[in-house]
Chain A
């Protein structure tokens, strides 16, 4: 597996699309894998009592999925040094999270990648990943 170099990237370049199918298993599995036992992330009844139609994905799972989206594209030697996320609406079982990415900028061996995740509720997440790439 090769890793992209920063000087191979162009500003505005798009990452491949990922349409991520959200299921109850994905939401619960992600919550438990991140040790986030807040009931709204694994217990539908708890989510309904808070006014939502179903349990919803926790932030760490969203970040984990976006992170692998970026490094699946960039390659295994791409180092994630920073992630900034802006959180929007919920992501729930039955939602298809449309994950899209583009290169925002490059500087030496560093690159900034913007990732957006949208579903039927609107924008779920907008994240900026800072990467360090091989020289």
Chain B
């Protein structure tokens, strides 16, 4: 996008800040017992003040009240939501469509904050007025670059009495890794996969190493074709003679534990924690980083004998790990 076009887009989105998204929304049904009971069923909720007149009398509420987190449910649009919003129906939709039309096609809810002035009583009608409160500068995020849009909603009852408020922040972004879309012929849909191990970078200098692990089930050790010095991890030049030619030998897989650390945090999706992260000395003399498996934390001893296993993840990725020598 050109700077001029970007400035025009930013000016246009900023014009939405402070605008109500549309007229006040009035809850279709007043706060009522059937909807509260349906909510409690779905949430596994058994609070006496939500479910039972006599039970409610025994609480500070003294009468049936609605669960506080149900506040927004009273003004939800309901059935019409299933048809989607190809045609914008309010200012919020128009703002989102404007960004989507400019490539910011992704949307993610990121934060909410709800304040409950008091619990709602049976018979109250909930009214909500939502305003576009804030649009951030363009930010780089893990999902892609985009704008955080914050809306604020004020809730009141039929008499104008304050019931609570909500702020809701979404990220509208250009997906950093766009999923391949289904082909026009109705080919396979792109489906998100459960997270798995973060894959190592595989480039010109080390891609061959990972291919040997995957294809041949071995741990190769790079060897200089001039002076035969071994080196690991793979790199372009021999640190003994400066020669760039190389081949490799296959490690036996026998190793000793040089040092280790136990990783509890930070936790990334796709790994089982804690991880025993290790440095080993291979029998052939090179040093290698890996993880220790099939070993309790208290049984780990520096100097212990290990043997390599070529581990295969659920997604088919192969990686050498180590376990105590049998």
Interface string of B161-190 (1 = CB under 8 A from A): 000000000000000000100100000011
Given A30-B42, A49-B189, A67-B69 in contact, is the A36-B112 Cβ separation under 8 Å?
no
Stretch at the interface among A4-12, A82-90, A100-108: A82-90
Instruction: Report the interface size for chain A: residues with CB under 8 A from the other chain.
Output: 46
- Is A80 located at the chain interface by the 8 A CB criterion? yes
A67→B67 contact, CB < 8 A: yes
A29→B41 contact, CB < 8 A: yes
A34→B76 contact, CB < 8 A: yes
Instruction: Report the interface size for chain B: residues with CB under 8 A from the other chain.
Output: 52
A35→B82 contact, CB < 8 A: no
Chain A residues whose CB sits within 8 angstroms of the CB of B192 once the complex forms: 51-53
What residue in chain A is nearest B38 (Cβ atoms)? Answer: A33
What residue in chain B is nearest A80 (Cβ atoms)? Answer: B68
A121→B109 contact, CB < 8 A: no
Chain A residues whose CB sits within 8 angstroms of the CB of B109 once the complex forms: 59, 87
Partner of B47, one of A20, A39, A71: A71
Q: In the assembly, what is the distance between CA of A53 and CA of B192, in Å?
A: 6
Chain B residues 66-82 with CB under 8 Å of chain A are: 67-70, 72-73, 76-82
Smallest CB–CB gap between B228 and chain A, Å?
46
What residue in chain B is nearest A34 (Cβ atoms)? Answer: B73
Chain B residues 103-153 with CB under 8 Å of chain A are: 108-116, 119
- Is B49 located at the chain interface by the 8 A CB criterion? yes
Smallest CB–CB gap between A134 and chain B, Å?
7
A64→B42 contact, CB < 8 A: yes
Chain A residues whose CB sits within 8 angstroms of the CB of B80 once the complex forms: 37
Given A61-B42, A81-B115, A81-B116 in contact, is the A38-B81 Cβ separation under 8 Å?
yes
- Is B260 located at the chain interface by the 8 A CB criterion? no
What residue in chain B is nearest A42 (Cβ atoms)? Answer: B82
What residue in chain A is nearest B269 (Cβ atoms)? Answer: A122
What residue in chain B is nearest A66 (Cβ atoms)? Answer: B69
Interface string of B85-117 (1 = CB under 8 A from A): 000000000000000000000001111111110
Interface residues in chain B, defined as those with a beta carbon under 8 Å from any beta carbon in chain A:
35, 38-39, 41-49, 58-60, 67-70, 72-73, 76-82, 84, 108-116, 119, 179, 182, 189-195, 267-270
| Interchain residue pairs with CB less than 8 A apart (30) | A26-B42, A29-B41, A30-B43, A32-B42, A34-B72, A37-B81, A38-B81, A39-B82, A43-B82, A48-B191, A49-B189, A51-B189, A51-B190, A53-B191, A53-B192, A60-B73, A63-B112, A64-B67, A67-B67, A76-B47, A76-B58, A80-B116, A81-B116, A82-B115, A84-B111, A84-B113, A87-B111, A89-B195, A122-B268, A122-B269
CB-CB nearest 10 A-B residue pairs: A122-B269, A35-B76, A64-B43, A29-B42, A33-B42, A37-B81, A63-B69, A68-B45, A34-B73, A37-B82
A-B contact sample (5 more), CB < 8 A, given A63-B69, A77-B60, A89-B269: A26-B42, A37-B79, A60-B69, A84-B113, A120-B195
